[in-house]
Amino acid sequence: MPSSARELGRVGVGITVHENAPLPDISTPDAVKRTLLAARSIVYINPATGTSGKHFAQVLQNLGIAEAMKPKTTLLEGGYVVEAVGRGEIELGIHQITEILPVKGIKLVGPLPEALQKVTVYVGALTPKARDPEQARRFLAHLQTPESRQAFAKRGYMAGP
């Protein structure tokens, strides 16, 4: 049922700091590079287990700082890996924005610049074996209402094109 596919939202990768920390400059790839090199520690999800981690490891390679960052990098296995930033154990956290916003004790610096960004697109669709196709259609329609879009936006999802 490809015609039932509907984009529900997009999620980018962002950088976070402790709620009491000043916001570093991440406005350009060079600014991100300077900010990362100046940080005493960073955390992101293990590239073997998370899309944003795999992407961010490549960002470090592309910026030419992967080796310099190794001694101050912590890789975690999943969940809210940026909680360590809120506890004051790590200076910068990198994760999908939807995984940053719910965490207490931190604030979102912002999304990575477009040249470094990886956006994940979330889509909903009916399956051929849906038990109640009409109810599934109504649910998909509900997820596209202005109220649902607003709820998604509060949680870090961007609207698609």
Residue 45 has pLDDT above 80, yes or no: yes
Per-residue confidence (pLDDT) for residue 100, from 0 to 100: 96
Residue with tokens 């975690």: 76
Dihedral pair phi/psi, residue 49, rounded to 5°: -125, -10
Contacts of 41 (CB under 8 A, 6+ apart): 72, 73, 74, 89, 90, 91, 92
Per-residue confidence (pLDDT) for residue 158, from 0 to 100: 85
CATH code matching the domain that covers 1-161, chosen among 3.40.190.10, 1.10.150.20, 3.40.50.2300, 3.30.1490.20: 3.40.190.10
- Mean pLDDT for 92-100 is 96
Per-residue confidence (pLDDT) for residue 159, from 0 to 100: 82
Per-residue confidence (pLDDT) for residue 157, from 0 to 100: 85
Sign of the alpha-carbon torsion through 38, 41, 45, 48: positive
Residue 2 has pLDDT above 60, yes or no: no
* 79: confidence class by pLDDT, cuts 50, 70, 90: confident
